[in-house]
Amino acid sequence: MNEDIIAPKHKVRGLVLLSGGLDSTLAICVLREQGVEVTALCFVSPFFDDRKARQATDRLGIALLSENFSEAILGLLRAPKHGFGAGMNPCIDCHTAMLRRAGEIMQRDGYDFIATGEVLDQRPMSQRRKSLDVVANESGWAERIVRPLSALLLPESAPEREGLIDRSRLRALSGRNRKPQFALAVQYGITDYPTPAGGCRLTEPNYVARLRELVAHEGLDDRRGIDRLRLGRHFRLASGTRIMIGRNAADNAAIEADAQPGERVIRADAGPGPTGLVPAGASSEDVETAAAFVVRYGDLRSEAPGSVCVMTVGGGQEHMTVSPIAEKLVENCRIK
């Protein structure tokens, strides 16, 4: 430690935002190397989860706080002040809201500072210097935010000035070249980490297409509808009803497990095939059309009619025999 830095009288505690990727993991290692007691914080919503963060904290042997961020991110999707990235990702507003929440937890639980794994200029929208400053200022916690991987390229933070963190042991990483991170990973003995891409569905083109379609027809108020976007194939019928058809056994099981009272679950009477789901209140025409989709995806090569069982959750069941839906209608109704 620098000689002119006075050793803090208490154990320094940092709250580090962790996605589970390499950068945030390295930020934790850099801080722990100088004796900071680190707790990881990750956010959970219909668009991102804490799976990778859990794996990372298990490897690191540190505690993880998982914070429900659903209402916040759904609010931002309606009107992000700083707009969207290439998908439906309101990254600047999202980072701001995450840091604001992290600051509240820091204050509530007595942490000394918040840290992130951001690397200056690594990402075009959210990690330019201007964006980092906007996010820090709008979060309300600018002085207590530390970015250990790029700290030497950024102004000194309050925890550094206060002697809680030794600035000379922070890093000066920047740009898109990730070789320095890989070298640092070797230095810290980190061999197992996910690729940088992925983790947030709001950046995945196919998912975003589904979400945009949902917003256009139904808005963002149906939480279950949003959660279901990651499952199965989705089709918008001419009536406006959206139906789901499972793609595989896992989808079929998830669709059945999630079916709600009044919804119809459709399965082939014989042999393997997909499970279909029709929303409560759908017309008998829509149910019949959905049955035709189930028959179509049960055997793509057959034009023969098929028999299905339509079960109303919490109600009765009926059997019907229908011809497979015409290919043209499949394409007209398909939501990516």
Q: Which residues bind ligand SF4 (CB under 6 A)?
A: 48, 89-91, 94-95, 200, 202-203
- Among 122, 308, 89, smallest CA distance to 202 is for 89
Count the helices and strands in the chain (H runs, E runs).
12, 12
CB of 130 to ligand SF4, least distance (A): 16
d(CA 322, CA 300): 14
Q: Which residues contact 188 (CB under 8 A, 6 or more apart)?
A: 26, 29, 33
CB of 160 to ligand SF4, least distance (A): 25
CB of 85 to ligand SF4, least distance (A): 7
**Whose Cβ is closer to ligand SF4: residue 91's or residue 229's?**
91
Question: What is the strand order of the sheet 233-236 is part of?
Answer: 317-322, 306-312, 264-268, 276-278, 242-245, 233-236, 334-335
Beta strands, E only, 190-255:
233-236, 242-245
d(CA 5, CA 111): 20
**Whose Cβ is closer to ligand SF4: residue 48's or residue 141's?**
48
**Whose Cβ is closer to ligand SF4: residue 74's or residue 142's?**
74
CB of 206 to ligand SF4, least distance (A): 16
Rg (C-alpha) for the chain, rounded Å, is 25
d(CA 8, CA 262): 61
CB of 193 to ligand SF4, least distance (A): 17
**Whose Cβ is closer to ligand SF4: residue 199's or residue 246's?**
199
d(CA 22, CA 188): 11
> CA 242 → CA 51, 260, 263, 280, 286, distances in Å?
29, 15, 12, 11, 9
**Whose Cβ is closer to ligand SF4: residue 34's or residue 66's?**
66
CB of 47 to ligand SF4, least distance (A): 6
CB of 315 to ligand SF4, least distance (A): 40
**Whose Cβ is closer to ligand SF4: residue 199's or residue 324's?**
199
**What angle do helix axes 22-33 and 179-187 make, rounded to 10 degrees?**
50
**Whose Cβ is closer to ligand SF4: residue 203's or residue 275's?**
203
